[in-house]
Structure formats: structure tokens, C-alpha cells
Amino acid sequence: MYRIYWDSSAVGGLHDDEFAEQSEALFEAVKSGQVLGIVSPILEAEISLAPPEVQATLSVIRRNGIVLAPSDAATHLQEKYMEAAVLSPKWADDALHVAYATLADADFIVSWNFKHLVNSDRIRNFNRVNRQQGLRDVVILTPRDAAGILRADDEDREEI
């Protein structure tokens, strides 16, 4: 079972005309128990300011996943990302998302944030820091691409 960390853009994307259709298959996989959603304290804080329908979506992911506790280790890893200038201080919360996902052994992070997360240069730099810290690489995908992986896995199982 895949462990998928959701950032706030992925949760909110379910209610955005541009991303809703592309996000729905992954959300359905969480609802059905096909994948395990991972929710962090920073995600909960960000979504607490969102419209009620987005908060309700997060509640579904929480019920069908795991909720991480606040973590000094995540804050420490976030600081390492910031020291390495992976992101500017203005975007420190995005680095904290990656830190929580990394430490939770997420198979991947889902996000619609192309500037700070779903970005090959940033991913490479996050992973450089992770390797320096003796941690595994992080994979960051759009919900559409993550759902594609799930579909491909289902098709492979059907062929067996």
C-alpha cells in the first residue's frame, strides 16, 4: 500500500476547477483504502484557514490515513533545507512539508505547487540534503501522476 503525503495544494486542488478532475482519482483511492494518506501538523494548520469544503476533504484523508505528530526532527530537517537554500525563507512551510513526508517514509508527496515542490531542480536539491542526512530520496508528483502510477499498478496486477 502506497503511503502518500498530501500538501495543501493537493487537498485544495479537489475544489479547484483547474485541478479537481485530475485530483479525484487519487482522492478516491484514499477513500477506498487503496492508499494511505499522510497528514502533517503543517498541513492541518494550513487547511484550518481554508473554506469548509476543503477542511472536510482533509477530514476524509485523516480518517483514511495517518496523522503525524509535531516533530523536532522535521523542524531540524526543514532547517537543513533552508541552510542549503533549497527554498527561500518565505517558503519555509513548503520545506517543512517535505521534511515531514521524508521522515514519515512517504512513497511520494502529491502537490500542485510547481514552483516550490513539483520542480525537478528543487526535488534534486531536497534529495541532496536528504542524502547528506542519511535519509531516503523524496518523490514529488502531481495527484494526476500519482493516480497514473496506481492505475499502472492495477493493470500490472490484472495481467498476472
User: How does pLDDT run across 107-153, given as a tens digit for each residue?
Assistant: 999 999 999 999 999 999 999 999 999 999 999 999 999 999 988 87
Q: What is the CATH number of the domain that holds 50?
A: 3.40.50.1010
CA max distance for the chain: 49
pTM, full prediction = 0.93
Instruction: Report if residue 160 sits inside a domain.
Output: no
Instruction: Report if residue 132 sits inside a domain.
Output: yes
Domain count, the chain: 1
Instruction: Report if residue 120 sits inside a domain.
Output: yes
User: How does pLDDT run across 21-36, given as a tens digit for each residue?
Assistant: 989 999 999 999 999 9
Instruction: Report if residue 130 sits inside a domain.
Output: yes
DSSP 111-136: ---TTTTS-HHHHHHHHHHHHHTT--
Instruction: Report if residue 28 sits inside a domain.
Output: yes
Instruction: Report if residue 20 sits inside a domain.
Output: yes
- CA atoms of 16 and 34, how far apart (whole Å): 24
Tell me, what's the pLDDT at 157?
A: 58
Q: Which domain holds residue 59?
A: 3-155
Instruction: Report if residue 65 sits inside a domain.
Output: yes
- CA atoms of 10 and 62, how far apart (whole Å): 14
Tell me, what's the pLDDT at 153?
A: 75
User: How does pLDDT run across 38-62, given as a tens digit for each residue?
Assistant: 999 999 999 999 999 999 999 999 9
Instruction: Report if residue 83 sits inside a domain.
Output: yes
Q: Are 111 and 144 in contact (CB under 8 A)?
A: no
